[in-house]
Amino acid sequence: MRHAFLFIIVVLALFLRLWQLDSVPPAPSLDEVSIGWNAYSIMKTGSDEYGTPFPLLLRAYDDWRPILYVYLVMPFVWLFGLTAVSVRLPSVILSVLSVVATYFLVKELLRDKMDKKEKVDRKEITNYIALLAAGFVAISPWHIYISRLGHEVNAGTAFLIFALLFFFRKSYILASLFFSLSFMSYQSEKIIVPLVVISLALLFYKEMLQRKKQVILAVILGMVITIPFLFVSFQPDALIRFKGTNILSANEQEFIDHAIKRKEAIEQGDLMGIIRHNRRIVSVEIIAQQYFSHFNPNWLFINRGHEAHKVPHMGILWIGEGVLLVIGLFALYKRYIPLRSGIVLLILILTASLPASITTGAPHAMRSFTAVPAVQILAGVGAVFMYQSLGILGNLGIYVRKLSIGLLAILALFSIRAFYINYFYVFPQEQSDSFQYSLSRAISYVKEHEYQYDHIVFSNEDDLYQSYMFYLFNTKYDPEKYQKEGGTISGGYAESHMFNKYEFRPIVWETEDKADTILYIGNIHDFPETISPLETIVRLNGEPSIAIVANPSL
């Protein structure tokens, strides 16, 4: 019976991740077009947009990100062509495999030996918790949203789940392989994976010592895979992204203000002020605020409007999930599951927010995504713990148990319905600008009319940010031709690009050439109100976004 339930859960997970994948999200995102076209370029020529052969990092927009996901995308581009679906499919597949892996991971976690204080027969609860945890991952709005994006973050978390599964099965070589792949998949995992591996070694060193040869081989394999990646990751150029998103660098003005206050405190002999305004103390305070912002209920359960990587009108967790999570934490305290397994789950949750705490944009649903499986497992623990605890009510407990199961099922159905409406209908309408939907439509117009013009200028600001890459992706521009024309020289913010008869740069209308052989594609505000565009591209909510202008329309 449990296999039938697991099958239903997997089918549900597939449906929620595959349904309308070509149109929701409404257009390929900034990252997806870069990942997709670079996969296309490497597949066709062996080099990325910069002409670098088989790179270990994706330079992209001078982000210097892990490139593993690009290589995962390549077979799908070869099979299905350069489309948004091809870029998103690897993430979808990994996410569904994560649902299955979570089920088996729970079964491994609950096999750990229980000490004398742990009075629960784990054989009785393992299957229930495993099914519930897999089910919660399957319907998690956080997991579904990220899974439907063609982005490396989901790969990093999926590989970490696989690594943990093989670790608890004592297949240390396979665990090392997947820990290494996770480490090489996403920036956050560079911090999380080492901390998780060290924690596991401290918690399970006795078991590991029983398989010394396998552990040594696993360590060697991990080093062989990760050392080349580490070497390129610490090159000066590769650290540009971290320097740009480092929260301490972004808050330099705050440090200046505190330095002034500290100087005043020194002059006044104010010891507490001297300590309070010390740069190190301020740094710790900023990072702590960033870290704990991820545990703010308002962020977890509510969307106050247009929050990044969240479904409209919803948090990253269901309200019911939050209740079960709290009960699950209480169950850990009561030693309801093996102590070491509980510690591993806590480590996953507590380390997940560390990468986001030292970068801008906290709280950040993508950078803290690694917490998802542990949160859902603890919610499953909480549900079963609550169910069993109701047994103390005697005969009344039987009815209360049935009622609680019914309420949980109804809540799950209502939650899925709310997600379906908010994600598949509201989300495209409200957040099409986040995916530069209008730019993709503008490029379609340009492709139909470009033969009429000798020169075509795209803005590269606001709704047309990094428009050169959207053009390469949407037109399936030949990588070999692009590289012969010079390729990409710099991918930095607001950098201009030029190839063939296309130019991508800020449009300053007062100084532009008004020749009738030039077509301009810019933001609405790039042009005077007196101009009548050839075409006005609107967002899915009806707001004007992009104007296409040529001399005859002036």
pLDDT of residue 63: 84
Entry pTM:
0.92
pLDDT of residue 208: 95
Asked if 358 and 223 sit in the same domain, the reply is yes
Boundary residue ending a domain (411, 430, 449): 430
Query: What is the helix (H) or strand (E) element at residue 106, kind and residue range?
Result: helix 84-109
How confident is the model over 6-45, as pLDDT tens digits?
A: 999 999 999 999 999 999 999 999 999 999 999 999 999 9
Residue with tokens 């509201």: 426
Domain holding 223, by residue range, is 2-12+26-245+288-430
With the C-alpha atoms ordered 112, 118, 119, 125, is the resulting torsion angle positive or negative?
A: negative
Residues of the chain scoring pLDDT < 50: 115-120
pLDDT of residue 454: 94
Residue with tokens 């993508």: 366
pLDDT of residue 118: 47
Boundary residue ending a domain (385, 414, 430): 430
Tally of structural domains, the chain: 2
pLDDT of residue 34: 96
Angstrom distance (rounded) from CA 510 to CA 140: 50
DSSP 22: T
Angle between helices 395-421 and 122-139 (to 10 degrees): 20
**Torsion angle, CA of 59/65/69/75, rounded to 10 degrees?**
10
Boundary residue ending a domain (398, 430, 462): 430
Tokens of 298: 């308002």
Tokens of 194: 């080492």
Tokens of 550: 């040529």
Asked if 415 and 495 sit in the same domain, the reply is no
Asked if 372 and 487 sit in the same domain, the reply is no
Asked if 99 and 203 sit in the same domain, the reply is yes
Angstrom distance (rounded) from CA 258 to CA 254: 6
Burial of residue 78 (CB within 10 Å: 0-12, 13-18, 19+) is middle
pLDDT of residue 403: 82
pLDDT of residue 115: 47
CA dist 138 → 7, 143, 208, 377, 549 (Å): 12, 8, 32, 12, 46
Asked if 144 and 226 sit in the same domain, the reply is yes
Whether residue 493 is contained in a domain is answered as yes
